[in-house]
Amino acid sequence: MDPVLKKPFGPPVNMRRAYGEALVALGQSRPDLVVLSADVSNSDHSFMFEARFPDRFINVGIAEQALVDVAVGFAKCGRVPIANTFAFLFATRALEQVRTHLAYGRANVKLAGAYAGLSDSFDGPTHQSINDLAVMRSLPNLTVVVPADPVALDALLPQMCDMDGPVFFRLCRNEVPVVFGEGYRPTLGRAVQLRDGRDLTLIACGVMVAPALEAAESLASQGVQARVVEMHTLKPLDTDMVARCAEETGAIVTVEEHSIIGGLGGAVAEALAAARPAPLERVGIRDQFTESGPYADLLRKYGLAAPDIVQAAQTALRRKENLQRQR
């Protein structure tokens, strides 16, 4: 059987280029696919689709509300539109259109949120997107997906287009290591266990999957067996997997390139509270705005690197042990 993980990680791949290629591949197999952009096709590399399928590409200009509305019009005609702009703009400027037509009206539109998390690192807090998952997750009927690397994107994008219903997915702007191998076969809505362990579980999404795996290695060298789960679908959340990990490992750490409020950490906290409470540590941006800077430096500064995950894991373990002593 092909391995799920690539060991060691493959050389970094530009996620934007991977997205452009994935769009072109999908455009070949799906004649009903339409790509719309609010003038960001050079940024998110959807220009690759434009070059290949010019009559299925629409630039609506710098007008995010029109972007979502026009995509809804295409969905009404039976097309499968993917609307493209920066992740934060879907969650802010165009949110009302997303709510009314996609969430409430269930228009079959896919939203590609580019430059997610801190990945638009040099454009600063106005462009960085740290609460998009919280916003999107709060909307009924909307599916929320965070592909971790190009392999995940290739596997998940066709599924998002096959399902009949609105989807928001977020994409990193920068180079990311290839985490997954040939054996990675994700299904929307189902978490993927990447590494087994019995002491605690690291649940990660997006570009934080790689540092979570590194943290698990580092914990292993300290004698701690960490299970690692990739939660590519934040909504609907695989609550069974969360409950099982709580049951079997007794402590959980969530890892996301997002605020600790309302994203993966929030979703897992809700699931634990409802199903099986267990100590939970959330690695993410601690309810603050970030700043301009080199991407890797920003991730380190705001507590999103492997050592931060290790530290959070140790805290979670201590809480688990305290709990066991009290019993």
Partner 1 sequence: MPKPSGRQAQEGGRPSRSLHRNPTTSMARQKTSQRGLDPLNYSRFWRPIRPDPTRLFDCLPFHDTYAELLRNTETLAYLIRSYTVYSMTCAALGHPGGSFSEAETLAVMYNYVLRHNPREPKWPMRDVFYLSKCHACPGLYAALALFGYFPLRDLKYYGCWGSHLESHPDWLRTPGIEISGGSLGQIPGVGVGRALALRRNGPNHNDRMVYVLVGDGECQEGSVWEAFMAAGHFRLNNLMFLIDNNKVQAKGFVSEDMNIEPLADKLEAFRLDVHEVQNGHDVSELVDVFTVLRQMRRDRPLAVILNTIKGKKVRECEYNPNWHTSAPRNVESAARWLDELWEQDGRRLGIPREFPKALARAIEIVPPLHDNPDQIAEKQA
Distance CA 142, CA 250 (A): 30
Distance CA 194, CA 204 (A): 10
Tell me the closest approach of the beta carbon of residue 37 to partner 1, in angstroms.
13
Phi-psi domain of 218 (left: phi exceeds 0; alpha: psi -120 through 50; beta: other) = alpha
Q: For residue 209, what are its two tokens?
A: 């999957």
Residue number, 82 or 229, with CB nearest to partner 1: 82
Residue number, 73 or 189, with CB nearest to partner 1: 73
Q: What are phi and psi of 50, to 5 degrees?
A: -60, -45
Q: What is the 3-state secondary structure (H, E, C) of 261-288?
A: CCCHHHHHHHHHHHHCCCCEEEEEECCC
Integer CA distances (angstroms), 318 to 121, 216, 251, in order: 34, 16, 9
Tell me the closest approach of the beta carbon of residue 120 to partner 1, in angstroms.
23
Distance CA 327, CA 324 (A): 5
Distance CA 148, CA 207 (A): 5
Tell me the closest approach of the beta carbon of residue 41 to partner 1, in angstroms.
16
Tell me the closest approach of the beta carbon of residue 135 to partner 1, in angstroms.
17
Residue number, 36 or 130, with CB nearest to partner 1: 36
Distance CA 269, CA 252 (A): 10
Annotated active-site residue in 21, 64, 256, 257:
64
Residue number, 106 or 190, with CB nearest to partner 1: 106
Tell me the closest approach of the beta carbon of residue 25 to partner 1, in angstroms.
21
Tell me the closest approach of the beta carbon of residue 95 to partner 1, in angstroms.
11
Catalytic, 64? Answer yes
Residue number, 25 or 63, with CB nearest to partner 1: 63
CB atoms near residue 106 (< 10 Å): 15
Distance CA 279, CA 247 (A): 11
Got the DSSP string for 35-100? EEESS-HHHHSTHHHHHH-GGGEEE--S-HHHHHHHHHHHHHTT-EEEEEEEHHHHHTTTHHHIII
Amino acid type, 312:
A
Residue number, 70 or 209, with CB nearest to partner 1: 70
Give residues in contact with partner 1 (CB under 8 A). 34, 55-56, 58, 60-61, 63, 65-66, 68-74, 76-77, 79, 81, 96-97, 100-101, 104-106
* Catalytic positions: 64
